[in-house]
Chains A and B, each alone.
Chain A
Amino acid sequence: MDPFNAIVIAVFLPFILAWTLPVLYSVFKQRIGWIAAGIAFTCFVLNAQVIPYAMAGTPVQGSWVWLPTAGLSFDIYGDGMAALLALIVSGVGVIIMSYSNGYMSTKEDLPRYYQWLLLFMGAMLGIAYTDNTIQMFIFWELTSITSFMLIGYWRERPESVYGATKAFLITAGGGLLMFAGFLMLRVVTGTYGISEVAQSQELLATLHGSEFYVAVLILVFLGAASKSAQGPFYIWLPNAMEAPTPVSAFLHSATMVKAGVYLVARMHPILSGTPEWLILVSGTGMITMVMAGFMAFRQTDIKAILAYSTISQLAYLMTMYGYSTAEHPGLGFAAATFHLLNHSTFKATLFLVAGIVAHEATTRDIRKLGGLRKEMPKTFIVAVIAAASMAGVPPLNGFLSKEMFYETSVEIGHLVGGPWVYIFPVVAVAGGVFTLMYSIRLIDGIFLGERTHDPDVPHHVHEAPWVMLAPAVFLVGLIIFFGLYPKFPIDYLIQPAYSGLVPHAETLHIKHWHGFTLPFIMTVVTFVTGILLYKFYDTLAAMQNSFNAKLPWISVNYWYDAIVNNAKGICKKFANVTQPGPLGGYIKIVQLFMIFLVAWPLYYLGVGAASILPAGMNFASEPYEIVLYALIIVSALGAAIIPRYLPAVLSLSAVGFLVSLLYMYLKAPDLAMTQVCVETLSTIIFILVIIKIPQKFKEPMPAGKVMVNLLISGAVAFSVFAIMVNAGIGIIAPFESLSHYFMEYSLQLTGGLNVVNVIVVDFRGYDTIGEISVLSLAALGVYNLILSRADSGSAAEGGEEE
């Protein structure tokens, strides 16, 4: 298949087929999980088509015309990096959707679950292959929305809603910052294209010389950091663990959180190579890596430990992508890309194990668990291998990329010089030590030690069913395979990924044994320190807890909650100030202001009270016109004075029909016709409503209040009158009317003779679309108001629209 078509199908297949799931559900019932997995597998096969092109160094490119007037097209760019992310997304997708068949109860709303999973997968594939910033932004926010829906899958739980809202506010907000960065990038380079900028030396020079460079870098990085839960934005990820565990494994460890890292990698050729890049990306990464690893100690929920571990591991990736100097722009790129793949394998496995444990032992609290190795031997082995890979135990794949992390940390230290020769490696080792400690904790807390007898844990815990175990075993197979034969993933996935983006990246020289080099010594130090410090694990956790209890404001969550909760309160206070009382008050203010708007210019223009009515007024009116005017006024007065509803409404309707007659006289036949139709309809609606509302309320009319109201109304009437008779004598500055344009071009451009009609449907067609939207919204509003009745017994009314 043509690779461009393969990519397009892979991106859009999940979007299209997601909508068929509810239909398929009525046929296949709970087996639709396998159908969803099949769709993911199809995407996986389609994505694999890109690999030969990526290996040959000829990325798959193509575009569709989208919005040519805005300089936008639908651009596809399938290089090695895109293929790597796409394969991870669709591959983990197959595993997760198969696993979900065992995890999700058949009583759940399965179509909704798989629908959102598929939509998410499509959006991620879109991010992988996109080649312009606008398209990137759209798919980016789509992943935020789908993630929101999946975290909040159990809608009735307040924690789910809280977690979903938090994740959405942070990731979508970060996406908006990124969008601002993209727009700045467009201003500087004049294009929305990504590879176009990356491959043009000229544009790159312009960008790096531009004063917007730092702003673009910061904004784009904020988008990436919020998505990948880096820096202060980490707070959403632990709360996102309220999602079903397969969702956490898929979105919040293996794929969606990688989108931020992927963006950094994608923007690497454009923005890297500067000290700003190193400080921002690596700096944020290193701080997050150490802090998140340390904070993991305090967690008692298995998934929360994994969440902090994910934050810390993503920070590894950020740190390595950030390793970049002017001479060696892609120093850490290859190592980071390899670790990105490895992290997906071991972290997804650990999440699957967490899901199995929670499913079988009915709790995820690590304090209540323990000694499960005898009852769940297979799960135990799977978990040990995955955790060992995360901790960097040779010869697994995690060990290889961790070695490379240490190696590149030493190198960047030497390139930067000064005290940094030590700081980079020391921080890297600290990250490694913490990783090792919580990895031991996971295994120790769940599987080792004495079997606990907590009331929440069943007496006999079963081994997981094969549906849930098989995906995990498959991933563990990959962990071992990548560890023993690193040449395979390197040649087919990693090398095409980095050589496409960073041509001069350090080539990977992976070996299990390099000799007694500095990275080897660092690994030994990591293991020794980690195992020694593990004795103090609980002490450290208790210290963190007491520290947080003493200083609650130290936590980022404290500030998030303060801002979000106060926002509601402030809005309420604001509304109470601006809308304190009955409607009449606001109307009076509006009308007094209107009188002022008329009086002020009249006074200023020197019209003065004496000459407010201009000389030589045009009183000429035919007798039939006078009759028409008089009838209108009499009917309006009737509507105002008659107390009973029905005659008042009929008077109003008389005003409407007389006004349509007046439109005839004012040379507006279209208006007259419309007015007749509208008046008929609104009279019907009026009458339908007054049938339902008995006239009980007798409004007291104290003379004083009536006088005040009469005064205001009189002033309003006089203002309008003054404006009308003075129109054209200096109040309005002379201007050329637009209307002759329509008169002249109506027939030439549209072939219409009735100019009013032509304006409505043609020249100002967009206004008419707006008008139709208003009508639809009003109709929806009416419908919902009727629907909102508590007692649906009484007859419906008022739904009539055009």
Chain B
Amino acid sequence: MNNVMLSLTISLLFGIGTFLILRREMMKVIIGFGIVSHAINLYIVASGAFSNGTLVPILEHHQAVVGLGQGLIVADDVAAGVIGPITSEPYLEFADPLVQALVLTAIVIGLATTAFILTLAYRIYEEYGTTDVQELRRLWG
């Protein structure tokens, strides 16, 4: 089960982002988009960090020399709300590397989309002279 304070923070980010996306001013919508992306990324990463004691998913040499399937233990403890922390013999817990890899990709793609949306906003302003989304729709017909 996730930490309540962390969950609260992430869900508030979601709420604030949503509110911004619902606005009419284009720039505010884009800012809202940025906040919601942060919230989504955090949400995914948080699901892979299990408790305060987990380690970053970077191995030491001695941790990896143990034989396949022996050194690391998967502790899917569903009852305790814990899915898949990975532990090694001296009771070291690692954060989940997979979710981090996913989010790494997402962050970079987020940059690409942000740059694209911003350029689009800039061009829209140049062409139509407004940043009001509803007004744009009217102009477009």
Chain A residues proximal to chain B, CB less than 8 Å: 581-584, 587-588, 591, 614, 617-622, 625-626, 629, 632-633, 636-637, 639-640, 645, 648-649, 652, 655-656, 659, 662-663, 666-671, 674-675, 678, 681-682, 685-686, 689-690, 692-693, 696-697, 699, 709-710, 712-714, 716-721, 724-729, 732, 734-740, 742-748, 753-756, 759-760, 764, 767-768, 771, 774-775, 777-779, 781-782, 785-786, 788-789, 797-798, 800-802
Cα-based distance from A774 to B122 in the complex (angstroms): 21
CB <8 Å contact, B20 and A668:
no
Query: Taking CB as reference atom, which chain B residue is nearest A736?
Result: B76
In the bound complex, do residue B7 and residue A699 qualify as a contact, i.e. CB atoms below 8 Å apart? Answer: no
Within 8 Å by CB of B109, from A690, A719, A775, A789, lies A775
A755–B97 CA distance with the chains assembled, in angstroms: 6
Q: Are A778 and B116 closer than 8 Å at their CB atoms?
A: yes
Report yes or no: A743 in contact with B83, Cβ–Cβ below 8 A.
Answer: no
CA distance A663 to B78 in the complex (A): 25
B5 to chain A, nearest CB (A): 4
| A-B residue pairs in contact (CB < 8 Å), sample of 15 | A582-B137, A618-B4, A622-B52, A640-B28, A655-B35, A656-B38, A716-B18, A717-B15, A724-B10, A729-B1, A739-B97, A744-B69, A755-B59, A774-B112, A798-B122
Contact of B20 among A639, A718, A756 (CB under 8 A): A639
Query: What residue in chain B is nearest A745 (Cβ atoms)?
Result: B68
In the assembled complex, the Cα of A712 lies from the Cα of B111 at a distance in Å of 27
**Chain B residues with CB below 8 A from A686, complex form:** 114, 118
Q: In the complex the two chains form, is A633's CB within 8 Å of B58's CB? A: no
Could you tell me which residues of chain B, from 45 to 62, have a CB within 8 Å of some CB in chain A? 45-49, 52, 54-61
Interfacial chain A residues near B86, Cβ < 8 Å: 737, 739-740, 743
Which residues B71-109 have CB closer than 8 A to chain A?
A: 71-72, 74, 76, 78, 80-84, 86, 94-101, 103-105, 107-109
Q: Most chain-A CB neighbours within 10 Å: which of B10, B27, B112?
A: B112
Name the residue of chain A whose CB is nearest to the CB of B18: A713
The 3 closest A-B pairs by CB, nearest first: A737-B84, A717-B15, A728-B81
Partner of B54, one of A584, A667, A719: A667
- Nearest neighbor of A632 in chain B, beta-carbon distance: B9
B59 and A775 form a contact (CB under 8 A): no
- Which residue of the partner chain B has the closest CB to A741? B98
Whether the Cβ atoms of B6 and A629 lie closer than 8 Å is: yes
CB–CB A652/B76 < 8 A: no
CA distance in complex: A771, B80 (Å): 35
Min CB–CB distance A664 → chain B (angstroms): 9
Do A734 and B104 contact each other (CB < 8 Å), given the known contacts A740-B84, A743-B57? Answer: no
CB within 8 Å for A626 and B16 given contacts A689-B121, A775-B108: no
Which residues of chain A are within 8 angstroms of B84 by Cβ–Cβ distance? 736-737, 739-740
| Bound Cα distance from A629 to B11, whole angstroms | 11
Q: Which residues of B contact A771 (CB under 8 A)?
A: 105, 108-109
Given contacts A639-B31, A725-B4, A789-B123, contact A659 B38 (CB under 8 A): yes
Number of A-B contacts (CB under 8 A): 328
User: Whose C-beta in chain A lies nearest to the C-beta of B105?
Assistant: A771
Q: Are B76's CB and A737's CB within 8 A?
A: yes
Q: Are A727 and B18 in contact (CB under 8 A)?
A: no
A718-B14 Cα distance, complex, nearest whole Å: 9
Contacts of B17 in A (CB 8 A): 636
Tell me whether B59 and A655 are in contact (CB under 8 A). Answer: no
Q: A614 — which chain B residues lie within 8 A by C-beta?
A: 1
CA A452 to CA B37, docked complex, whole Å = 77
Q: A582-B133, A678-B108, A692-B125 are in contact. Are A697 and B25 (CB under 8 A)?
A: yes
Are A663 and B45 closer than 8 Å at their CB atoms? Answer: yes
Across the interface, A655 reaches (CB within 8 A) one of B6, B38, B119, namely B38
A745 to B119, CA, bound (A): 42
Interface centre among B21, B99, B131, B135 (most CB of A within 10 A): B21
A693/B108 in contact, CB under 8 A: no
Q: Are B83 and A636 within 8 A (Cβ)?
A: no
Are A760 and B11 in contact, CB atoms less than 8 angstroms apart? no
Q: Which residues of B contact A583 (CB under 8 A)?
A: 29, 133, 137
Residues of chain A lying within 8 A (CB to CB) of residue B76: 734-737
Q: Would you give the shortest CB distance from B64 to chain A, in whole angstroms?
A: 4
B83-A735 in contact (CB<8A): yes
Contacts of B56 in A (CB 8 A): 667-669
| Distance between Cα atoms of A659 and B9 in the complex (Å) | 11
Q: How far is the CA of A381 from the CA of B3 in the complex (A)?
A: 95
Complex formed: what's the CA distance from A662 to B78 in Å? 26
- Whether A759 pairs with B98 at a CB distance below 8 angstroms is yes
Instruction: Check if A737 sits within 8 Å of B96, measured CB to CB.
Output: yes
B11→A718 contact, CB < 8 A: yes
Q: Which of B42, B98, B119, B131 contacts A798 (CB 8 A)?
A: B119
Cross-chain contact A754 with B58 (CB below 8 angstroms): yes
User: Nearest-CB distance from A652 to chain B (Å)?
Assistant: 5
Contact check: which of A618, A682, A732, A759 meets B34 at CB < 8 Å? A682
How far is B59's CA from A588's CA once the two chains are assembled, in angstroms? Answer: 45
Q: Please judge, given known A-B contacts A668-B45, A668-B56, A724-B11, whether A699 and B132 are in contact too, CB under 8 Å.
A: yes
Which residue of the partner chain, among B15, B25, B105, B121, contacts A713 with CB atoms under 8 Å?
B15
Known A614-B1, A682-B111: A717·B12 in contact at CB below 8 Å: yes
- Please encode chain B, from 126 to 141, with 1 for each CB lying within 8 Å of some chain A CB and 0 for all others: 1000111111110000
Q: Which residue of A lies closest to B132 (CB)?
A: A697
How far apart sit A30 and B140, CA to CA, in the bound complex (Å)? 48
Asked if A709 and B34 make an inter-chain contact with CB atoms under 8 angstroms apart, the answer reads no
CB closest chain-B residue, reference A734: B78
Distance in Å from the Cβ of A444 to the closest Cβ of chain B? 57
Known: A699-B23, A785-B122. 10 other contacts (CB 8 A): A584-B133, A636-B17, A720-B10, A724-B10, A726-B1, A736-B74, A736-B84, A746-B64, A756-B57, A777-B112
